[in-house]
Chain A
């Protein structure tokens, strides 16, 4: 069976892509952010995931408001990045794993989730930047499964719903017959707000509480509606839902490997959390 070896939560701020393209990792503004990643890469080099399931939100590359799924699962052979309109470098194409995607979709629908299924799917910075941060040399030997959660248009799914989605994905992985190591990745956040007179809102104490709870008590984060999260974490801080969903897929003994937290990167409280998952 597939083994979920661990979890990474990381911010996916677009400006990170620009900083990578311009080699600004040691720049004083960027260094406190990028310095978080060597420890994560060290752990990945030892745990060697074969597959990464990415819980993220699309910001208007693949999905528009004409058809906006609450949950969408990629089931393609490959996923390409594309122009998002504001000059980010194109990070190329990622390998898919449609057989495992369909296995996950079967489990989700059995568990009364009704995701959109996508045999063609472009992936935006919320998918590409975290993978670039974790594998700067590329993801050649790794297969990916994108799971997009609507954080654009209210009503958003609740934190509990997202957590249960992750639990269902975890059950699917546990019954997948191939012996493979799987990393679950939740991207976005943490607290930030881009829009309105409240733009620039950041909630450090809430973020730090969330990082603590994600390690050992994620169920304590499941009481929030999407709108409540917007109030507490900012209108884009709702991307915490991706972190909570991914955390739902861990069912073993969870140990914190590493974390980093830094304010600000762009308009955002940036964060990184690495968790190891050992079978019970």
Chain B
């Protein structure tokens, strides 16, 4: 199945070659957060750290806004973005709540409901 034949999934952007090209600098920066020293450097001087990885303006803004949907629109992949979120101690429920416009409690209740 080629990219054009992939299903369009509501509320979902499949991370494919297009996204991988668009988001490379952003994802590369987030991948660097595997290292504790790099997480510290980011926190110490966010502008300098983003500049070092060559983020474009949309990626830089999305990082500044801590906004997952913006980050994905800028090519971010959730597995690398999770390392960015980890710097702020955010869980995947926090990220889910932000993306769906729910409170964290509402998002957790939605997950529980899925099991009924």
Does any Cβ of B come within 8 Å of A67's Cβ?
no
Task: Name A's interface SS.
Answer: loop
Residues of B100-116 whose CB lies within 8 A of A: 100, 107-108, 110-112, 114-115
Chain A CB within 10 Å — which of B39, B77, B80, B111 has the most?
Answer: B111
Q: A64-B28, A200-B114 are in contact. Are A267 and B96 (CB under 8 A)?
A: yes
Docked-complex contact A195 and B115, CB < 8 angstroms: no
Check if A194 sits within 8 Å of B95, measured CB to CB.
yes
Q: Once the chains bind, are B83 and A198 in contact (CB under 8 Å)?
A: no
A235 CA to B13 CA, complexed, in Å: 9
B75 to chain A, nearest CB (A): 10
In the bound complex, CA of A117 to CA of B24 (Å): 24
Residues of B within 8 A of A152 (CB): 15, 77, 79
Contact in complex: A65, B77 (CB < 8 Å): yes
The answer to whether B27 and A202 have CB atoms under 8 Å apart is no
Chain A, residues 196-210, CB within 8 Å of chain B (1/0): the string is 111110101000000
CB of A83 within 8 A of CB of B34, answer yes
Q: Is the CB of A98 closer than 8 A to any CB of chain B?
A: no
Shortest beta-carbon distance from B71 to chain A in Å? 10
- The yes or no answer to A215 lying at the interface (CB within 8 A) is no
List B residues 22-72 near A (Cβ within 8 Å): 24, 27-28, 30-31, 33-36, 39, 68-69, 72
- Judge whether B114 and A266 touch: CB under 8 Å: no
| Inter-subunit contact B12/A266 (CB<8 Å) | no
Contact residues in B for A84 (Cβ distance below 8 Å): 34, 83
The listed residue (A66, A200, A230) touching B111 by CB distance below 8 A is A200
CB <8 Å contact, A195 and B111:
no
Which residue on chain B has the smallest CB distance to residue A238? B14
Q: Given contacts A60-B80, A200-B107, are A231 and B7 in contact (CB under 8 A)?
A: yes
Is A200's CB under 8 angstroms from B83's CB?
no
- In this complex, what residue of B is CB-closest to A195? B78
Cβ contact within 8 Å between B72 and A195: yes
Among B28, B93, B107, residue most surrounded by chain A Cβ atoms (within 10 Å):
B93
Complex contacts, A15 vs chain B, CB 8 Å: 91-92
- Asked whether, in the complex, the Cβ of A231 is within 8 Å of the Cβ of B39, the reply is no
Known A-B contacts A86-B83, A227-B7; the reply to A264 vs B96 at CB < 8 A is no
CB neighbours of A197 from chain B (8 A): 10-12, 69, 99-100
